[in-house]
């Protein structure tokens, strides 16, 4: 029984601090990896948001053109479409 107590005491004195030291480095690397992954995901999300905003702006411009065509009376629709089609977008 005395031998088991010595082994347990040695584990407490040597084993636990060793595990904590190596575990600390592993946890630090895991946290750094997770932070890098989150940064990449944030950049990708921002890029997608910018693409959606640009697409939304283009669609809004097209809707404005269609609204003008529909609401303007006395304008030949075919001529208006051709004129607006040739007009460069911002």
- In three-state secondary structure terms, 53 is helix
* pTM for the structure as a whole: 0.51
pLDDT in tens, 32-59: 999 999 999 999 999 999 999 999 999 9
Query: How would you class 86 by CB atoms within 10 Å of its CB: exposed for 0-12, middle for 13-18, buried for 19 or more?
Result: exposed
Query: Containing domain of residue 30, as a range?
Result: 2-86
Residue that wins the pLDDT comparison between 19 and 80: 19
Quote the number of domains for the chain: 1
């Amino acid at each position: 029984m005395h031998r088991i107590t010595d082994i347990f005491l040695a584990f407490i004195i040597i084993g636990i601090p060793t595990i904590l030291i190596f575990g600390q480095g592993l946890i630090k690397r895991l946290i750094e990896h997770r932070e890098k992954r989150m940064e990449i995901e944030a950049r990708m999300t921002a890029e997608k948001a910018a693409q959606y905003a640009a697409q939304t702006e283009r669609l809004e411009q097209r809707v404005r053109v269609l609204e003008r065509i529909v609401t303007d009376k006395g304008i030949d629709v075919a001529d208006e479409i051709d004129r607006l089609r040739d007009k460069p977008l911002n």
